[in-house]
Structure formats: C-alpha cells, structure tokens
Amino acid sequence: MEYLKTAEYAARQAGDLLTKRFTRELKIEKKGRINLVTDADRASEELIKRIISETYPEHSFLAEEGTGTKSGSPYLWVVDPLDGTTNFAHGLPIWCVSIGLLKDREIIAGCVYNPNLDECFTAERGSGACLNGHPIAVSTTQTLDDALLATGFPYDIRESPLDNLSQFASFAKSARAVRRAGAAALDLAYTACGRFDGFWEFKLSPWDIAAGILLIEEAGGQATSYSGDQYDIYQGELLASNGKIHNAMIEILRNTLG
C-alpha cells in the first residue's frame, strides 16, 4: 500500500535525522516541569510533515509539536516525531518515531521505527503486522504469572492523584515483571511482536498510540479501554495485550481504580 510506504519512508528519514543528533548537544525546553521538548523533536516533525504533505497535500495532519493542518479530507496522519524524548535527552537509546494514518477515524496504516536497532514495525489494516518486512505475532503467554508487562507514568505524576502508581504496584505483584522503558509506541510495537505480553497506560496522546494499536490488532492481539470497551485514541487510556491475559489485566485495573 502506498500509504504505508510513505509512512515508512518518512519514519526512516526522521530516524536518520534523530540518529545524527543523538548524544550531540541539544536545545532542550520544558513544556512542563518534567516534560521536555528538544530541537530534534521539532526538526523531526518538520521533516515528516514535509514528506507527507508533499505526497498527500490534501490530507490532514496531527503531530505532537503542533504542526497540525485540518483539511476536509477523511485521511488524518497522526505523528509522534520522537517518542521517548526524556530517554533521547539523556542519551538513553530507547526511542522511536511513530506514524499512524486514520481514514474516517479508523486506523488503517501504522509504522513505528526504532533507528537504534534498525527495527521498523509496520501494519496495514487487514494485512498483518511486520518487523523489517517479516510477519510478527503477539505472544502465547496464558497467565499474568508468566507475563512481562510494560507501562508508563504521566507527566503530571507530581500533581495528579491519577498517577498509575497503584496499578503499577498491583501488576508488579501479579506479573512476572513490569518494565517502564519510556516510549509508549515502542512498548506497543514490542507487545505486537511478543517481547511484552501486555501494556497499560492512561493520559496518552493519539500520536503515542495510533500506529501501535494497529500493530497490536494486526499481530493478533487486543487493544481496548481499561474496561475492555472499544478504545478511543483521543481518550488516552489504553490496555493492549496478546488477548490471552486481557481479562486478567482488566480485573486488576478494575480493582485498583475502584
């Protein structure tokens, strides 16, 4: 599909740009007390926006650092030009580029690219998910006892009582282990290819999860709200898993959220 090729091309170009800037001196600004943005985030977004709007000038565009355009088109590109900015700013090589495409609010294509490992995760609706062109599938893990889970914490963790800490504590005591790697799009890609068995997080943004949700679905997994209902990428709450441990995760979330 041409759309997916464009997504992959843009993600790889942005990945190259970010790699060149990684561990070099960055201009770092604070969007909040602990929420960073760097000149690399902005440059990556500009590049992706340019590539996509040159190819599909009539499509709408929504990206984290603000280069949005709204046209009357049913197509909307949803872009995180650098997912894992805190890691990037600290020289920790766990970050990626995430590009999703919606048509009439349905995610139809997605690409998550991690230049650090040259791993490109791609999916288009109805055609499966791939890692570097090879089909991937979610894990077959049946129980939380045997599961490796991933999550993250919101940037308002200091101010808000909705801080994911009680959920983290409960999963830490019921799963094999829980990781907080710092890039939600990569967490989802890793769940899609079976490295993680499940993921939960709230207060996410559409650009964190649009591409990753499609990877999960096309790899045979399940993506829902915390209660198991249809997800809404604008609501920011996501539970994603291999499907087998989904109900067990819903139960923990229900118990900890009261």
Residues in contact with Ca ion by the rule CB under 5 A: 64, 80, 82-83, 208
Single out the segment in contact with ligand IPD by CB under 6 A; choices: 54-62, 103-111, 152-160, 218-226: 152-160
Query: Contact between 184 and ligand IPD (CB under 6 A)?
Result: yes
Task: Provide the 8-state DSSP code for 231.
Answer: P
Residue 145: strand, helix, or coil: helix
Taking residues 85 to 114 in sequence order and writing x for each that binds ligand IPD by CB under 6 A, - otherwise, the string is xx----------------------------
User: Which tokens belong to 230?
Assistant: 């249809």
DSSP one-letter string for 29-96: EESSSS-EEEHHHHHHHHHHHHHHHHH-TTSEEEETTS--B--S-SEEEEEEEEE-HHHHHTT-S--E
- 110, 182, 198, 206: residue in contact with ligand IPD (rule CB under 6 A): 182
Close Cβ partners of 59 (under 8 Å, ≥ 6 residues apart): 52, 53, 71, 73, 75, 76, 77
Q: Which lies closer to ligand IPD via its Cβ, residue 56 or residue 186?
A: 186
Is 237 a residue that touches ligand IPD (CB under 6 A)?
Answer: no
Contact predicate 192/215, CB 8 Å: yes
Query: Is residue 208 near ligand IPD by the rule CB under 6 A?
Result: yes
Rounded to 5 degrees, φ, ψ at 241 are: -155, 180
- Closest chain position to ligand IPD (CB): 152
Cα separation, 114 vs 195, whole angstroms:
15
- The answer to whether 65 contacts ligand IPD (rule: CB under 6 A) is no
Binding at 216: pick from Ca ion, ligand IPD, none (beta carbon under 5-8 Å per type): none
- Close Cβ partners of 12 (under 8 Å, ≥ 6 residues apart): 113, 115, 120
Instruction: Write phi, then psi, for 223 (nearest 5 degrees).
Output: -130, 125
- Considering the rule CB under 6 A, would residue 84 count as an interface residue with ligand IPD? yes
Q: Could you tell me which residues come within 8 angstroms of residue 4 by beta carbon, excluding any fewer than 6 positions away?
A: 101, 109, 111, 122, 123, 124
Tell me, by CB under 6 A, how many residues bind ligand IPD. 14
Stretch near ligand IPD under the rule CB under 6 A, chosen from 77-85, 119-127, 168-176, 241-249 = 77-85
* Binding partner at 84 among ligand IPD, Ca ion, none, C-beta below 5 to 8 Å by kind: ligand IPD
148 and 197 Cβ atoms separated by less than 8 Å = yes
Residue 170 or 235 having the CB closest to Ca ion: 235
Contact range with ligand IPD by CB under 6 A, out of 15-23, 151-159, 189-197, 237-245: 151-159
Minimal distance, residue 46 CB to Ca ion, in Å: 14
Supply the minimum distance, in Å, between the C-beta of residue 181 and ligand IPD: 7
Find the binder of ligand IPD among 65, 80, 124, 237 (CB under 6 A): 80
Note the residues at the interface with ligand IPD (CB under 6 A): 80, 83-86, 152-154, 182-184, 201, 204, 208
